[in-house]
Structure 1
Amino acid sequence: MSKVKAAFKYSNEHEWVEVLDKEQVRVGITHFAQEQLGDIVFIELPEEGAVVKANKSMGTVESVKAVSDIYSPISGEVVEVNGALEEAPETINHDAYSAGWMVIVKMSNPEELEQLMTAEQYEAFIKEEE
Protein backbone atom coordinates (compact mmCIF):
# COMPACT_ATOMS: atom_id res chain seq x y z
CA MET A 1 0.00 0.00 0.00
CA SER A 2 1.18 3.49 -0.74
CA LYS A 3 2.61 5.36 2.22
CA VAL A 4 0.81 8.52 1.13
CA LYS A 5 -2.49 9.15 -0.67
CA ALA A 6 -2.14 11.93 -3.24
CA ALA A 7 -5.59 13.50 -2.70
CA PHE A 8 -5.26 13.73 1.10
CA LYS A 9 -3.83 16.48 3.32
CA TYR A 10 -1.44 15.71 6.18
CA SER A 11 -0.49 17.11 9.58
CA ASN A 12 2.97 17.16 11.12
CA GLU A 13 1.55 14.88 13.85
CA HIS A 14 0.97 12.19 11.17
CA GLU A 15 -2.79 12.46 10.74
CA TRP A 16 -4.41 12.46 7.31
CA VAL A 17 -7.43 14.44 6.16
CA GLU A 18 -9.73 13.46 3.31
CA VAL A 19 -12.01 16.28 2.22
CA LEU A 20 -15.50 14.80 1.76
CA ASP A 21 -17.33 18.01 0.86
CA LYS A 22 -17.28 21.75 1.66
CA GLU A 23 -18.14 21.06 5.30
CA GLN A 24 -16.80 17.63 6.27
CA VAL A 25 -13.50 15.78 6.42
CA ARG A 26 -12.55 12.21 7.34
CA VAL A 27 -9.52 11.86 9.62
CA GLY A 28 -7.13 9.03 10.48
CA ILE A 29 -3.48 8.37 11.21
CA THR A 30 -1.02 7.81 8.39
CA HIS A 31 0.57 4.60 7.21
CA PHE A 32 3.89 5.99 8.49
CA ALA A 33 2.39 6.59 11.95
CA GLN A 34 0.98 3.08 12.26
CA GLU A 35 4.35 1.64 11.14
CA GLN A 36 6.10 3.61 13.87
CA LEU A 37 3.57 2.50 16.49
CA GLY A 38 3.61 -1.19 15.66
CA ASP A 39 0.67 -3.46 16.43
CA ILE A 40 -2.26 -1.33 17.60
CA VAL A 41 -4.19 -2.93 20.46
CA PHE A 42 -6.55 -0.19 21.71
CA ILE A 43 -7.97 3.11 20.53
CA GLU A 44 -9.89 5.85 22.33
CA LEU A 45 -11.77 8.27 20.09
CA PRO A 46 -13.98 11.29 20.83
CA GLU A 47 -17.73 10.78 20.92
CA GLU A 48 -20.11 12.07 18.27
CA GLY A 49 -20.94 15.68 19.06
CA ALA A 50 -17.53 16.36 20.64
CA VAL A 51 -15.83 19.59 19.62
CA VAL A 52 -12.22 19.14 18.50
CA LYS A 53 -9.58 21.81 18.01
CA ALA A 54 -6.78 21.78 15.46
CA ASN A 55 -3.48 20.53 16.90
CA LYS A 56 -5.12 19.42 20.18
CA SER A 57 -5.48 15.84 21.37
CA MET A 58 -8.76 14.17 20.45
CA GLY A 59 -7.97 10.66 21.64
CA THR A 60 -5.27 8.05 22.08
CA VAL A 61 -3.97 5.03 20.29
CA GLU A 62 -2.22 2.26 22.20
CA SER A 63 0.21 -0.11 20.55
CA VAL A 64 2.52 -2.80 21.85
CA LYS A 65 5.21 -0.09 21.96
CA ALA A 66 3.49 2.98 23.43
CA VAL A 67 0.38 5.07 24.04
CA SER A 68 0.22 8.09 21.75
CA ASP A 69 -2.12 11.03 21.42
CA ILE A 70 -4.17 11.45 18.28
CA TYR A 71 -4.24 15.13 17.33
CA SER A 72 -7.08 16.67 15.42
CA PRO A 73 -5.72 18.26 12.25
CA ILE A 74 -8.82 20.45 11.96
CA SER A 75 -11.28 22.23 14.26
CA GLY A 76 -14.96 21.33 14.32
CA GLU A 77 -17.59 18.92 15.56
CA VAL A 78 -17.25 15.14 15.38
CA VAL A 79 -20.26 13.95 13.40
CA GLU A 80 -19.29 10.30 13.01
CA VAL A 81 -16.91 7.90 14.76
CA ASN A 82 -15.60 4.65 13.30
CA GLY A 83 -16.98 2.36 15.99
CA ALA A 84 -15.54 -0.73 14.28
CA LEU A 85 -12.10 0.29 15.57
CA GLU A 86 -13.17 -0.38 19.17
CA GLU A 87 -13.55 -4.08 18.37
CA ALA A 88 -10.70 -4.26 15.84
CA PRO A 89 -8.12 -1.47 16.38
CA GLU A 90 -5.60 -3.47 14.36
CA THR A 91 -7.60 -2.43 11.27
CA ILE A 92 -5.46 0.72 11.33
CA ASN A 93 -2.33 -1.40 10.81
CA HIS A 94 -3.84 -3.18 7.81
CA ASP A 95 -5.74 -0.32 6.16
CA ALA A 96 -4.78 3.07 7.62
CA TYR A 97 -6.22 5.09 4.72
CA SER A 98 -9.57 3.38 4.24
CA ALA A 99 -11.19 1.06 6.79
CA GLY A 100 -8.88 2.51 9.48
CA TRP A 101 -10.42 5.99 9.38
CA MET A 102 -11.19 7.40 12.83
CA VAL A 103 -13.66 10.30 12.73
CA ILE A 104 -15.60 12.55 10.40
CA VAL A 105 -15.48 16.21 11.43
CA LYS A 106 -17.78 19.03 10.37
CA MET A 107 -15.25 21.83 10.02
CA SER A 108 -15.72 25.08 11.91
CA ASN A 109 -12.80 26.71 10.09
CA PRO A 110 -12.20 25.25 6.59
CA GLU A 111 -9.27 27.66 6.11
CA GLU A 112 -7.27 25.38 8.44
CA LEU A 113 -6.96 22.96 5.52
CA GLU A 114 -4.49 25.40 3.98
CA GLN A 115 -2.15 24.84 6.96
CA LEU A 116 -1.86 21.11 6.22
CA MET A 117 0.74 19.48 3.99
CA THR A 118 0.14 18.13 0.50
CA ALA A 119 1.11 14.53 -0.21
CA GLU A 120 4.43 15.67 -1.71
CA GLN A 121 5.23 17.84 1.30
CA TYR A 122 4.33 15.02 3.69
CA GLU A 123 6.53 12.53 1.80
CA ALA A 124 9.46 14.92 2.19
CA PHE A 125 8.58 15.41 5.87
CA ILE A 126 8.61 11.68 6.69
CA LYS A 127 11.84 11.13 4.73
CA GLU A 128 13.48 13.53 7.20
CA GLU A 129 12.10 11.50 10.13
CA GLU A 130 13.18 8.08 8.82
Structure 2
Amino acid sequence: MSVLPSHLKYAETHEWVYIDEDGNAVVGITDFAQESLGELMSVTFSELLGDDLVQGDEVMSVESVKSASDIFAPISGELIEFNEALEDEPELVNEEPYDGGWLFKIAPHDVDELENLLSDEEYQAQIDG
Protein backbone atom coordinates (compact mmCIF):
# COMPACT_ATOMS: atom_id res chain seq x y z
CA MET A 1 0.00 0.00 0.00
CA SER A 2 1.25 3.47 -0.91
CA VAL A 3 2.05 6.06 1.71
CA LEU A 4 -0.20 9.13 1.51
CA PRO A 5 0.74 12.15 3.63
CA SER A 6 -2.47 13.76 4.89
CA HIS A 7 -1.22 17.37 4.51
CA LEU A 8 -1.09 17.03 0.72
CA LYS A 9 -3.86 17.44 -1.85
CA TYR A 10 -4.01 14.97 -4.73
CA ALA A 11 -5.03 15.21 -8.39
CA GLU A 12 -6.81 12.35 -10.13
CA THR A 13 -3.79 12.29 -12.49
CA HIS A 14 -1.54 11.25 -9.53
CA GLU A 15 0.17 14.56 -8.74
CA TRP A 16 0.36 15.85 -5.17
CA VAL A 17 0.60 19.49 -4.10
CA TYR A 18 1.02 21.62 -1.00
CA ILE A 19 1.61 25.31 -0.37
CA ASP A 20 5.08 25.97 1.09
CA GLU A 21 6.11 28.68 3.57
CA ASP A 22 6.69 31.12 0.68
CA GLY A 23 3.14 30.64 -0.63
CA ASN A 24 4.24 28.56 -3.62
CA ALA A 25 2.67 25.30 -4.70
CA VAL A 26 5.17 22.43 -4.59
CA VAL A 27 4.20 19.58 -6.94
CA GLY A 28 5.32 15.96 -7.29
CA ILE A 29 3.91 12.56 -8.15
CA THR A 30 2.52 10.13 -5.63
CA ASP A 31 4.22 7.05 -4.28
CA PHE A 32 1.57 5.00 -6.12
CA ALA A 33 2.48 6.74 -9.41
CA GLN A 34 6.23 6.24 -9.04
CA GLU A 35 5.71 2.58 -8.09
CA SER A 36 3.48 2.09 -11.14
CA LEU A 37 6.05 3.72 -13.44
CA GLY A 38 9.02 1.81 -12.07
CA GLU A 39 12.57 3.14 -11.93
CA LEU A 40 12.77 6.60 -13.48
CA MET A 41 15.46 7.01 -16.10
CA SER A 42 14.97 10.68 -17.02
CA VAL A 43 12.84 13.76 -16.58
CA THR A 44 12.06 16.21 -19.36
CA PHE A 45 11.36 19.76 -18.27
CA SER A 46 9.23 21.87 -20.59
CA GLU A 47 10.08 25.31 -21.92
CA LEU A 48 7.23 26.74 -19.86
CA LEU A 49 9.27 28.29 -17.02
CA GLY A 50 7.76 31.70 -16.29
CA ASP A 51 4.55 30.89 -18.16
CA ASP A 52 1.08 30.95 -16.68
CA LEU A 53 -0.47 27.51 -16.43
CA VAL A 54 -4.09 26.50 -16.18
CA GLN A 55 -5.07 23.62 -13.90
CA GLY A 56 -4.61 20.44 -15.95
CA ASP A 57 -1.95 21.80 -18.34
CA GLU A 58 0.89 19.43 -19.23
CA VAL A 59 4.05 20.67 -17.52
CA MET A 60 6.71 18.00 -18.05
CA SER A 61 7.26 14.30 -18.57
CA VAL A 62 9.08 11.50 -16.83
CA GLU A 63 10.44 8.37 -18.44
CA SER A 64 10.89 5.07 -16.67
CA VAL A 65 12.03 1.61 -17.63
CA LYS A 66 8.35 0.79 -18.28
CA SER A 67 6.91 3.90 -19.95
CA ALA A 68 6.80 7.67 -20.31
CA SER A 69 4.22 9.72 -18.47
CA ASP A 70 3.09 13.33 -18.71
CA ILE A 71 2.86 15.38 -15.53
CA PHE A 72 0.12 18.00 -15.18
CA ALA A 73 -0.41 21.19 -13.18
CA PRO A 74 -2.75 20.41 -10.28
CA ILE A 75 -3.54 24.13 -9.87
CA SER A 76 -3.27 27.26 -12.01
CA GLY A 77 -0.41 29.72 -11.63
CA GLU A 78 3.00 30.78 -12.88
CA LEU A 79 5.56 28.00 -13.31
CA ILE A 80 8.49 29.33 -11.29
CA GLU A 81 10.91 26.45 -10.69
CA PHE A 82 11.86 22.93 -11.69
CA ASN A 83 13.72 20.56 -9.36
CA GLU A 84 17.00 20.64 -11.28
CA ALA A 85 18.50 17.93 -9.05
CA LEU A 86 16.34 15.47 -10.99
CA GLU A 87 18.32 16.05 -14.20
CA ASP A 88 21.23 14.12 -12.67
CA GLU A 89 19.25 12.05 -10.17
CA PRO A 90 15.78 11.18 -11.54
CA GLU A 91 15.71 8.27 -9.09
CA LEU A 92 14.97 10.81 -6.30
CA VAL A 93 11.34 10.61 -7.45
CA ASN A 94 11.40 6.86 -6.69
CA GLU A 95 13.36 7.18 -3.46
CA GLU A 96 11.71 10.30 -1.99
CA PRO A 97 8.43 10.97 -3.86
CA TYR A 98 7.18 13.38 -1.18
CA ASP A 99 10.48 15.06 -0.32
CA GLY A 100 13.60 15.38 -2.48
CA GLY A 101 11.73 14.03 -5.49
CA TRP A 102 9.41 17.02 -5.92
CA LEU A 103 9.07 18.09 -9.57
CA PHE A 104 8.19 21.77 -9.90
CA LYS A 105 6.79 24.85 -8.16
CA ILE A 106 3.94 27.12 -9.17
CA ALA A 107 3.10 30.59 -7.85
CA PRO A 108 -0.64 29.95 -7.53
CA HIS A 109 -3.23 32.35 -8.92
CA ASP A 110 -5.98 31.00 -6.66
CA VAL A 111 -5.19 28.67 -3.76
CA ASP A 112 -8.92 27.92 -3.50
CA GLU A 113 -8.35 25.54 -6.45
CA LEU A 114 -6.84 23.17 -3.89
CA GLU A 115 -10.41 22.54 -2.70
CA ASN A 116 -11.14 20.87 -6.06
CA LEU A 117 -8.43 18.26 -5.42
CA LEU A 118 -8.65 15.01 -3.49
CA SER A 119 -7.83 14.42 0.16
CA ASP A 120 -5.54 11.52 1.04
CA GLU A 121 -8.60 9.35 1.81
CA GLU A 122 -10.32 10.24 -1.47
CA TYR A 123 -7.15 9.58 -3.46
CA GLN A 124 -6.65 6.22 -1.69
CA ALA A 125 -10.21 5.25 -2.61
CA GLN A 126 -9.49 6.16 -6.24
CA ILE A 127 -6.33 4.05 -6.49
CA ASP A 128 -7.98 1.17 -4.64
CA GLY A 129 -10.66 1.45 -7.32
Map 1:19-34 onto structure 2 (within 5 A): 19-21=19-21, 23-34=23-34
Q: What is aligned with 1:77? A: 78
Report the Cα distance in structure 2 between the residues aligned to 1:43 and 1:52, rounded to whole angstroms: 19
| Contact kept in structure 2, 1:45 and 1:102, CA below 8 Å | no
| Contact kept in structure 1, 2:25 and 2:107, CA below 8 Å | yes
20-29 vs 113-122, greater mean Cα deviation = 20-29
Runs of 4+ aligned residues of structure 1 deviating over 4 Å after TM superposition are none
| Residue deviations 1:74-122 (CA, integer Å, cap 9, x gap) | 1111222210001110110000000000111100122211110011111
Is structure 2 residue 38 aligned with structure 1 residue 35? no
Q: What is aligned with 2:5? A: 5
Please give the TM-score of this superposition, normalised by the length of structure 2: 0.92
| Contact kept in structure 1, 2:2 and 2:32, CA below 8 Å | no
Shift of 1:21: 4.7
Amino acid at match of 1:82: N
Which 5+ residue runs of structure 1 have no aligned equivalent?
none
Number of residues paired by the alignment? 128
Q: What is aligned with 2:98? A: 97
Shift of 1:51: 2.3
Shift of 1:55: 1.1
Q: What is aligned with 2:51? A: 50
Amino acid at match of 2:53: V
Report the Cα distance in structure 2 between the residues aligned to 1:21 and 1:95, rounded to whole angstroms: 20
Question: In angstroms, what is the RMSD of aligned CA positions?
Answer: 1.7
Amino acid at match of 1:90: E
Shift of 1:2: 5.6
State the secondary structure of the residue aligned to 1:48: coil
State the secondary structure of the residue aligned to 2:60: strand
Please give the TM-score of this superposition, normalised by the length of structure 1: 0.91
